[in-house]
A and B are shown apart, each in its own frame.
Chain A
Amino acid sequence: MDTGLELVARRKDGTEFPVGIGSSHIESPEGTLVLSLIVDISARKEAEAQTRQHREELAHLSRVAIMGEIAGSLAHELNQPLTGIVNNASAGRRFIAKGRADLPKLDSLFEAVVTDGRRAGEIIRGIRGMVRKGEQVRGPVNLNDVIARVLGFVHSDALGHHCALITETDPKLPLVEADQVQLQQVFLNLVVNALEAMGETPTPERRMIIRSECEPQGRVRVSVRDFGIGLPLEGPQQIFGQFFSTKREGMGMGLAIARSIITLHGGELAATNAQGGGACVCFSLPTIAEGQEGQRESRQSEEGREA
């Protein structure tokens, strides 16, 4: 029986509810009979919505947890422009106090203050985007932007770990259809794990190679390669399991959630031990093909109708 069709029905009192409609035909001596079914599927819909909500809540919790892990780094990133602002403003005041304040000089100081203020604002916006609780919003995303934003978050953590960040990004990377915040969460997990995996690595060898590239069949791939302890030899895939953690305070949910995010985006998350030591964790996602641009929009409007 075909029950593929979902519609919105209206009750006598005017409230709407979702229904599933199915029909099948029965051959009988009297001719063909058609059996039609209209089923109230609000309970199923509600359960689905609840699952989605739980999944999003869990993803949100995991996102907040990992942002907490890098809180020190975030504070440091914010401190840099603040230091710039305080210094430039103090310089201006000292020039004024000495009666040596010419307008072009003050203007250049103010310009630097404005630039730093914007930079601080940008960092705050980035953090808020990550910790805010909200519905996922899918749209065209450039994975290079995801990489750049996350590396901005962890820049000072990497310095603190004496780890060099080497990025090899493809500037002509096609866009993917995704929730940018969730992809940032996935990528942040990979980077933080890579940093932690290199705790025992001798300082000069501590480096992370971050690469974005096109793959055949309309996919893009982002990989994070570290030079740390590598994956556990027996059952390397257990790192994606729930409650698997090598950290004392780790929930062990980061990678499990990261994998479910990538899967929901139609992609794959995989990890291997790299040649020459360390691990390489990568995810690939389908790109928005040029012909699909229109299709994407129609699907979006469909989703809009459903909502």
Chain B
Amino acid sequence: MKNLVPRVFVVDDDQSVRTSLANLLAAEDYAVEIFASASEYLACVPYLGPACLVLDVQLPGLDGLALQRQLTKQGRMEKIVFITGHGDIRMGIGAIKRGAVDFLPKPFSDDELFSAVAQALARSAEDWRQRGEVVESRARLAKLTPRELAVFRLVIAGLLNKEIGAELCVTLRTVKTTSCPGDAEDGCDFRGRAGEGSAEGGRRACAPYACLRYHRRGAHNIVDSDRNLDSNRCRSYVSRA
């Protein structure tokens, strides 16, 4: 996905608006595809790169806001810039709350459009990057043993090793060997020493490190949703081990 060029999609039922948008975007070297209706757009294969959808609110059949809801439900990655001939403030706020990047009343200036499109593409690219990392982290997390996972949860909760030991009723040494198996000098331990760990090392112990990078972005959620463990169950895993 990293090599894919950003692409802009235009959905507007008015032929002159649609083609003029394609002309304008082409002037800034964007790859553009145009569609006359929401269903036409849905029928095309989702683009697996940074994508921006310039979307008219009023369309025959499925309208722009309904298309937005449908794309969100499908977990699609394109970011939407709405354009409208007679939108009101309430409609605009609703669209933005549901994740649209901008809401431009027609006729808009080219600068407004390009700044919105650039922002949308940047956000879409960031989403793709994050999705890649989440997938990677999940894969690594899946490789942890139950005991490692239990310790990991407490590590990312910010507990000290001895607190973890007390919490899980294990010795400090057990905590240390679980969180830093093997050679701690390669930095591939839970504590993510100085962040110099090789993320692609292929060693099982590298996995938590990648997860740790996610601490701030909700690693807890990933851990909880993927393994569905609470601390009691963590404790039982560890004591059984």
Q: Is the CB of B107 within 8 A of A79?
A: yes
Q: How many residues of B contact A (CB 8 A)?
A: 25
Q: Is the CB of B27 within 8 A of A94?
A: yes
Q: Is the CB of B16 within 8 A of A79?
A: no
> Which stretch of A34-42, A58-66, A159-167, A270-278 is in the interface?
A159-167
Q: CA of A156 to CA of B87 in the docked complex: distance in angstroms? A: 12
Chain A contacts with B in 90-116, Cβ cutoff 8 A: 90-92, 94-95, 98, 109, 112, 115-116
Most chain B CB inside 10 Å of its own CB: which residue of A87, A95, A109, A115: A87
Proximity bits, B15-46, A CB within 8 Å = 1, else 0: 01101110110111000000000000000000
User: With a CB–CB cut-off of 8 A, which chain B residues contact A112?
Assistant: 16, 19-20, 23
7 A-B pairs closest in CB distance = A87-B20, A84-B16, A90-B110, A94-B27, A76-B85, A91-B23, A83-B107
Q: Is the CB of B27 within 8 A of A95?
A: yes
Q: Is the CB of B85 within 8 A of A80?
A: yes
Does residue B60 face the partner (Cβ distance < 8 Å to A)? Answer: yes
Proximity bits, B95-115, A CB within 8 Å = 1, else 0: 000000000001111100000
Known: A94-B110, A160-B86. 19 other contacts (CB 8 A): A79-B85, A79-B86, A80-B14, A83-B20, A83-B107, A84-B20, A85-B107, A86-B108, A87-B17, A87-B20, A87-B23, A90-B110, A91-B20, A91-B26, A92-B27, A94-B27, A112-B16, A112-B23, A159-B60
Does residue A82 face the partner (Cβ distance < 8 Å to B)? Answer: yes
23 of the cross-chain contacts (CB-CB < 8 Å) are A72-B86, A75-B85, A75-B86, A76-B86, A80-B14, A83-B17, A83-B85, A84-B19, A86-B108, A86-B110, A87-B23, A87-B24, A88-B20, A91-B24, A94-B28, A109-B23, A112-B20, A112-B23, A116-B20, A119-B16, A156-B86, A159-B13, A159-B60
Q: How far apart are B119's CB and chain A's nearest CB, in angstroms?
A: 18
Chain B contacts with A in 32-69, Cβ cutoff 8 A: 58-61, 63
Q: How far apart are B118's CB and chain A's nearest CB, in angstroms?
A: 14
Q: Is the CB of A156 within 8 A of B20?
A: no
User: With a CB–CB cut-off of 8 A, which chain B residues contact A76?
Assistant: 58, 85-86
Q: CA of A89 to CA of B18 in the docked complex: distance in angstroms? A: 14
Q: Is the CB of B106 within 8 A of A79?
A: yes
A residues with CB within 8 A of B: 72-73, 75-76, 79-88, 90-92, 94-95, 98, 109, 112, 115-116, 119, 156, 159-160, 162, 164
Q: CA of A82 to CA of B106 in the docked complex: distance in angstroms? A: 8
**Main secondary structure on A side of the interface with B:** helix
User: With a CB–CB cut-off of 8 A, which chain A residues contact B63?
Assistant: 159, 162
Most chain A CB inside 10 Å of its own CB: which residue of B20, B60, B61, B86: B20
User: With a CB–CB cut-off of 8 A, which chain A residues contact B60?
Assistant: 159, 164
Q: CA of A156 to CA of B60 in the docked complex: distance in angstroms? A: 9
User: With a CB–CB cut-off of 8 A, which chain A residues contact B85?
Assistant: 75-76, 79-80, 83, 156
Q: How far apart are A125's CB and chain B's nearest CB, in angstroms?
A: 18
Q: CA of A156 to CA of B17 in the docked complex: distance in angstroms? A: 14
User: With a CB–CB cut-off of 8 A, which chain A residues contact B110?
Assistant: 86-87, 90-91, 94
User: With a CB–CB cut-off of 8 A, which chain A residues contact B107?
Assistant: 79, 82-83, 85-87
Q: How far apart are A93's CB and chain B's nearest CB, in angstroms?
A: 8
Q: Is the CB of A80 within 8 A of B27?
A: no
Q: Is the CB of A160 within 8 A of B58?
A: yes
Nearest-CB residue, chain A, relative to B13? A159
Nearest-CB residue, chain B, relative to A77? B85
Q: CA of A156 to CA of B59 in the docked complex: distance in angstroms? A: 9
Known pairs A76-B85, A156-B85, A156-B86; A94 contacts B24 (CB<8 A) = yes
